[in-house]
Amino acid sequence: NAGVMQNPRHLVRRRGQEARLRCSPMKGHSHVYWYRQLPEEGLKFMVYLQKENIIDESGMPKERFSAEFPKEGPSILRIQQVVRGDSAAYFCASSPPGGGWSGYTFGSGTRLTVV
Amino acid sequence: KQEVTQIPAALSVPEGENLVLNCSFTDSAIYNLQWFRQDPGKGLTSLLLIQSSQREQTSGRLNASLDKSSGRSTLYIAASQPGDSATYLCAVLNTGTASKLTFGTGTRLQVTL
């Protein structure tokens, strides 16, 4: 069981470019969650997805950020026209069907640096 | 709105000491509480999950307790080792929002030789 797989581990983008972060949930898990950890801050919820559905995106910035979890393939968090303030660690978590009642498993994160 | 506070923010202890990390939350309507460990530049490792109906969970040298009515949880680490040095995070899952964890800002622990 490979756990939650995130890639890339590190991503450097110039201001104005697009960043794509990928997350493959644990085998048997059908729920995916994205969290952001800004420097010296706690983890903040961004979005909760199931296959082909966004369930809760209340933590997503209104502009430039989008997420998807297609029927096939990993979940993608996309940040368009990145700015320096987007520099952070982005973590993906997954849980079994039914949600977080039995706990969450986190990936190792993608560290985005905007230069 | 749920708020989670962890005290202390940082802690340094000599090897072998027993220690307690504290977590408090403002809204007691939770499904569960989870303790994680985060090493520098790494992801989160789940340590213990306590359901709202439980009082404590144990794993090896770790023991976590939950007092839901008072909005408190503690993580007890026995016989600390240098390898325990990390940031410890607690997170709660609220009823009615069974999708998002609310995290504390963590306790940075250093265990010295």
**The predicted structure's pLDDT at residue A40:** 77
Mutate to test the interface with B, among A106, A110, A111, A112 (most CBs of B within 10 A): A106
The residues pairing with B4 across neighbouring beta strands, listed in sequence order, are: B25
Q: How far is B112 from B80, CA to CA, in rounded Å?
A: 9
Q: How far is B19 from A80, CA to CA, in rounded Å?
A: 45
Both tokens assigned to A114: 């905007």
* Residue B66 pLDDT class (50, 70, 90 cuts): very high
Q: How far is A31 from A105, CA to CA, in rounded Å?
A: 11
Residues 3-42 of A with CB under 8 A from B: 6, 31, 33, 35, 41-42
Q: Mean pLDDT over all residues of chain B?
A: 94
Contact residues for B21 (Cβ-Cβ < 8 A; gap 6+): B6, B11, B74, B75, B76, B77, B88, B90, B107, B109
**The predicted structure's pLDDT at residue A30:** 86
CB-based contact A86:A114 (threshold 8 Å): yes
The dihedrals phi and psi of B16, each to the nearest 5 degrees, come to: 100, -15
Contact residues for B2 (Cβ-Cβ < 8 A; gap 6+): B25, B26, B27, B30, B92, B94, B102
For A47-67, b/e burial (b = at least 16 CB within 10 A) is bbbeeeeeebbebbeeeebeb
Q: Spell out which residues of chain A touch residue B41, defining contact as CB-CB under 8 Å.
A: 111
**The predicted structure's pLDDT at residue A102:** 76
B9-64: pLDDT as tens digits = 999 999 999 999 999 999 999 999 999 999 988 889 999 999 999 999 999 999 99
Q: How far is B51 from B15, CA to CA, in rounded Å?
A: 31
**Count of CA atoms in the C-beta half-sphere (13 A) of A13:** 23
> Which of A14, A80, A34 has its CA nearest to residue B100?
A34
The mean pLDDT value for B2-7 works out to 94
Distance from CA of B101 to the nearest CA of A (A): 7
The three-class DSSP label of residue A102 is helix
* Residue A1 pLDDT class (50, 70, 90 cuts): low
| Percent of chain A topping pLDDT 90 | 79
**The predicted structure's pLDDT at residue B98:** 62
A6-59: pLDDT as tens digits = 999 999 999 999 999 999 999 888 899 999 998 878 899 999 999 999 999 999
Q: Which of A6, A48, A106 sits opposite B99 (nearest CB)?
A: A48
**The predicted structure's pLDDT at residue A97:** 78
**The predicted structure's pLDDT at residue A82:** 98
Q: Mean pLDDT over all residues of chain A?
A: 93
